[in-house]
Every structure is written in structure tokens, then in C-alpha cells.
Copies of this chain bind each other. A is one copy, B any other.
Amino acid sequence: NSYFKIAVLPGDGIGPEVVTESIKILDAVAEVFQCAFQYSYGLMGAEAIFKTGDPLPDETLKICKDSDAVLFGAIGDPVFDNNPEAKVRPEQGLLKLRKELGLYANIRPLKTYVSLIDKSPLKREIIEGTDIQIFRELVSGIYFGEKFTDPDGKYAYDVCKYSTEEIIPIAHMAFKEAEKRKKKLTLVDKANVLDTSRLWRKTCQKIASQYPDVQLDYLFVDNAAMQLILNPKQFDVILTENMFGDIISDEASVIGGSIGLLPSASIGEENALFEPIHGSYPQAKGKGIANPVASILSTAMMLDYLELPEAADKLRRAVEHSIENGYVTVDLNTEQHYSTGEVGSFIADYI
């Protein structure tokens, strides 16, 4: 296949700016690798609420379902963050999109860059050589379980529920990835307290026999939160449920010292979505200072998903080249820096 339909959801804050750079890259890739991308744009997030009242308009959902892959910027706006009572919120759009597209596996690769290592809050000797891949379950657990607040506001509950069917596919995905890497898989849970965690453990334990080369370890989430900082190099592939994944993947994102570089992929049976880890960063909106690399590396993950591995590799090399040669935005170098568009163009030119 050499013709791809890409749904583009720029979203809020710096989302549109960084997505523009990803499109620049895709255009360069199309030229060099003889393929074509057709872009369909959709509204999403606060932007969509302002224009349509709905954080995920049906139109947008349709575009995404019809696409080969979704390129997503960021959502979130201070208007909503500062008003916990708001009935309609940008996040609802993202959660609905994940569910509707069945994006059950959120994948976050974490690496340190040699030239940026001193930007980390952690010491060089702790983080040097860290290379982790986190698999977070994304469409179940306490995020999507029954929720209730009693009308008098006296109590509330949220249900965390998992079935083995929801655990098995992402577990296989994580085992397969571990097989390709250092063959170590760590399941993060709270099996000393939660029934759902014990279900995760048993399910993974069963699957493990199909991957005899992979060593499966278990770590309680509280201990994992410590170990990620004390010794991140001990990890290879991490697998965990939705809520724990939200917490520990954000925690782990500080290791490299530059959240502006971190990509993610959310994968389902039929659909896939690619987005930078950083949020909408409204303070930087429209200033041309946002780091486009996280979005660009998410685009590289998209190219892998579309089975264009050579293009993906070339793009990753282009990013490394730009970073090692100091073509970076202000977050990475306050003295010598370039704009969002300049960094994007530099990377596109390299391709």
C-alpha cells in the first residue's frame, strides 16, 4: 500500500503548531518514499466545544474511523481546567475517541538523548542508557467503569473492572515487544490489594508460557514509582492497567529531561492514533516556541504502523541529527535556539 488516509486532529493550544510540522514531514516522506497521504481535518477538544458544543463531533469521529491512522495534537484549555463543575470537557472527547476507536494499547517509548542528558532532574549516572517501552491499557479499568455520585453529594464511587479478554491482547503485544528487545517484561499492579490486579497477574502468567524467552516480573505500583527514579535502567518493557499507566508513564516522562521529545501511539484492532505526550501548553500557543519533535516522533511511530519502516527510521535519524547538531527549540537550549517551524523544516529537509 502506498496511499494513506490520515485523519488530522490539531486540537488545542500548541497542538495545531506541532501537527503542522508533522504534516511537513509527511509531505517530505511522500516525495522521497513514493507514497501519498491524504489529510482530512477534524475538530476536537476545547476548540470543538467552542465551535460545536461537542468535544468530539460525529463528523470528527467519522473521519477517524475512515482513516488509516489519526494524527493528533493536544487537548485542554484553562477555561475548563479551572472549572471542575463544567458539564462538557475536552477530556471527554479524548476518552470517547479512544473507546470508539478501540485503542486498547497506549505505547510510550522512553529514551535518553546523549546531548540532552544534563537537562534531566536526575543524575546522569542514574539515567544514562535508559530505554523503556511502556504499554498502558487504554479503554477499560476505572476510567470506563460505572461511575456514580449520589444526588445529595454525600458519596460517590468509580468501579475498576477488567475482563481477561481486555487484558489478553495488550499482554500479547507487550510480550511480543519484549521478545524483540531485552526480553524482560514487568507487570506493574497492586496484586496485594486489588482483585483486578490479581486477574492481570494470573492472565499474564498464563500467557507467559507462550513466550519462553521473555522473563516476566511483577512489581507493585508503589514500588514501581520508586524504582523508575532510583534505577530506570532496570526496565525493558512495562505493562500495566489504565490508571497506573497514566501515573507511571507521566512520571517516567521526566527521566530524559525533555517531555517535548516524547511520542506515543494508541493502537486498536482497526484504528490507531499518534500523539505527543506533552499537553496543550496554552501559555506557548501561537508563539512559535513549541517543540515539534514529540509530534514528529509520533509521526515516526505512525510510519512504522503503516508499514513504512524505512521512512520511520530515516525520520528518527533526522530527529537525532537535528538534536545532536543543536537544531532545537528554546526548551532544549535557551541560548541558541530555533522556532517550531525552523526545527520542523530542518528535519524535513534532512529527509
The chain A residues found within 8 Å of chain B, CB to CB, are 84, 89, 91, 95, 121-123, 126, 142-143, 145, 147-149, 153-165, 190-196, 198-199, 201-202, 218, 221-223, 225-226, 228-231, 243-244, 246-251, 253-254, 259
Contacts and interface: CB of A to CB of B under 8 A. Distances in A.
Given A84-B201, A123-B122, A230-B121, A221 B196 contact: no
Given A84-B218, A121-B123, A122-B121, A195 B229 contact: no
Contacts of A84: 191, 198, 201-202, 218
The count of identical subunits is 2
A253 to B, nearest CB: 7
27 contacts: A84-B218, A89-B192, A121-B123, A121-B229, A145-B157, A147-B194, A147-B195, A148-B195, A153-B199, A154-B164, A154-B165, A157-B161, A157-B162, A158-B159, A158-B195, A158-B196, A190-B246, A221-B246, A222-B246, A222-B247, A222-B250, A225-B225, A226-B254, A226-B259, A229-B229, A247-B248, A251-B251
Nearest to A251: B225
Closest 10 CB pairs of A and B: A225-B251, A222-B250, A157-B161, A155-B163, A156-B195, A156-B199, A147-B195, A121-B126, A91-B192, A229-B254
Contact of A157 (B191, B195, B244, B247): B195
A157 B228 CA distance: 27
B154 A163 contact: yes
Contacts of A163: 154-155
